[in-house]
Chain A
């Protein structure tokens, strides 16, 4: 009888402990904000590259069946890759404040995308001056602490260069292929 009680008790304990163990592992803080930001950026940049290559360039350059336009609804055209990126950022912002991201530049077409915080200013200059390197920092905004990562956003195709160099609102018109045109800024709140 005692043995039965012990065995049943052990089984019951296992039945409770195993799911709890799985649950706690899922909730355990295993990754740093930097790793998380790097992975988020990897997803963002890959998705954007896929949209640019598989949708925009194929249909506008290769098949020549549709144009891509800043005013894509009025022009019945495809949204520009940078716009797709921003729509994603706005969609995320509507659903969570656990992280945020944006596309910014020292030479923005839309002045609202110029650096606002000291970290943005320093980071965007750093990635422009140090091609291929990311910039990581921490900052306090609105009384909250954030881990902020800034990734270079280079001109990967001729259309990036021609659009920015020829746009009437662009403050710079001498971009070249491969040059850093701006940066992806990812923020993760770290408490406080």
Chain B
């Protein structure tokens, strides 16, 4: 009797509502699955690190929208190598150790998303951090006992530039600071640029097609499939490129696996030989939208018009590929290293580059100081080890993130090539100096080197006192 009273008075309306909900759900599902505009479903703006791929939901949400373990696999598929390179001070293994269970209960650092949750612009801080900035307190509350100099320091200052990073402290650990005390502003005026060693390494790696394209100079007389090309300009550009020097002819790029003609080879063709360069490009901000394997989705190439940094209006129609910076056929790495960047980037730092002390126009070939390029700092030559270090591939790292934020990552591979550590740390902490591309001197001074010096002196005094006491005790014992 009572049950009947609770039944809807108009069941037909309820049926309509259920049917409508089901149809709407199915339509939304179809919308997501079949490549329609998914931005409607974004729960919040993504961080600067992921906004390029925010519509490839499957890239991160591989299993479901709540499976943290699956999402961790997705995070690691892009970021794990970078963390290894950074000698991560807080690796996952530190927190899967059962002895740290109590710490994990307070901050579950086994998962990236504990500190880097996406779609939450309201709580997202620098470095994509979504924990309160004083989170170090959770495990290092007692730090002042080990480091009396830290007494009274607020926990929201730990990660101030030049002091500590959660992951990467390669240039900030105490013995490193001590080793580089009192260095001058400029240590040397020559920037050691190791050359790329593709020709030396690629044949050893096995994928390089040395049989079809022996490493020998080619010219216009022994170019292959030349019947496809009757444009002198293209052949001239090829003749000026490293490709002609190393025997890479037209068919190497313009033939697919079935020997059919490819009019516009894409990055996957470049990857045949330039495996590590393209691999890093696909992990960086320029190429991540093209990484179908990781994204599980086919996105259009990145375009300057979608960037969050300021870009030139004239570049908005561009789409980023290998050719957009290197040019087709000429593959001019010098152009790509600076002018290629400035063809799009239009922020203060970029606009100031050519008036900065780092830039030298038309340096004499024998001059010590040749100046720097954008790529020297943001896509530096990097060494990648294969076979446990038996093979070392030196290449231009196209993943800007690997050497960018936090900017202390740049200290060792870039800044300290020429500058003393104190000057370099201070400069990277000075936002105004960065904006004007280092035209001037830093106005801030980071205290970490002086703190390290003071602790070393205290330790030396304590040891001297202990040695003296031990010597006096020994002398007393002898006398007795």
B96, CB-defined interface residue at 8 Å: yes
Q: Are A185 and B175 in contact (CB under 8 A)?
A: no
- Contact (Cβ within 8 A) B99 A102: yes
* Contact yes or no, B93 A142, CB < 8 A: no
Complex Cα gap A139–B146 (Å):
29
B-binding segment of A49-57, A60-68, A93-101, A125-133? A93-101
Q: Are A70 and B175 also in contact (CB < 8 A) when A100-B97, A141-B98 are? A: yes
Q: A142-B105, A168-B459, A173-B466 are in contact. Are A93 and B96 (CB under 8 A)?
A: yes
Q: Are B93 and A185 within 8 A (Cβ)?
A: no
CA distance A93 to B92 in the complex (A): 9
Whether B98 lies near A146 (C-beta < 8 A) is yes
A144 touching B98, Cβ below 8 Å? yes
Given contacts A74-B176, A168-B459, contact A141 B96 (CB under 8 A): no
Q: C-beta contact mask, B62-105 vs A, less than 8 Å → 1, else 0? A: 00000000000000000000000000000111001111111011
Q: Give the residue name and chain of the A residue nearest to B101 (CB).
A: A142
Known: A74-B176, A116-B102, A168-B456. A93 touches B146 (CB 8 A): no
Residues of B within 8 A of A100 (CB): 96-98
**CA A117 to CA B96, docked complex, whole Å:** 15
Q: Quick check: is A179 within 8 A (CB to CB) of the other chain? A: no
A116 touches B91 (CB 8 A): no
| Chain A CB within 10 A, most for which of B92, B101, B455, B456 | B101
- Interface residues of A, dominant DSSP: mixed
A126 to B175, CA, bound (A): 34
Taken residue by residue from 131 to 149, chain A's Cβ proximity to chain B (1 for < 8 Å, 0 otherwise) reads as 0000000000111101000
Chain A residues near B176: list those with CB within 8 A: 71, 74
A contact residues around B102 at 8 Å (CB): 116, 141-142
Query: Could you tell me if B93 and A94 are in contact, using CB atoms closer than 8 angstroms?
Result: yes
Q: Which residues of B contact A111 (CB under 8 A)?
A: 146
Number of A interface residues at 8 Å Cβ cutoff, please give it.
24
Contacts of A141 in B (CB 8 A): 98-99, 101-102
Cα distance A166–B459 in the bound complex, in angstroms: 10
Q: How far is the CB of A92 from chain B (nearest CB, A)?
A: 9
- Chain A residues contacting B92 (CB-CB under 8 Å) are 94
Give the docked Cα–Cα distance between A90 and B146 (Å): 25
Residues of A within 8 A of B98 (CB): 100, 141-142, 144, 146, 187, 189
Tell whether, in the assembled complex, residue B175 and residue A93 are in contact, meaning their CB atoms are under 8 Å apart. Answer: no
Bound: A185/B100 CA distance, A: 13
Measured between alpha carbons, how far is A173 from B175 in the docked complex, in Å? 20
B residues at A contact (CB < 8 Å) = 91-93, 96-102, 104-105, 146, 175-176, 179, 455-456, 459, 463, 466
Nearest 9 interchain pairs by C-beta: A142-B101, A93-B93, A168-B459, A141-B101, A141-B98, A90-B93, A116-B99, A187-B98, A100-B97
Further 20 A-B residue pairs, CB within 8 A, beyond A74-B176, A116-B100, A141-B102: A70-B175, A71-B175, A90-B91, A90-B93, A93-B93, A93-B97, A94-B92, A100-B96, A100-B97, A102-B99, A111-B146, A116-B99, A116-B102, A117-B99, A141-B101, A142-B98, A142-B102, A143-B101, A144-B101, A187-B99
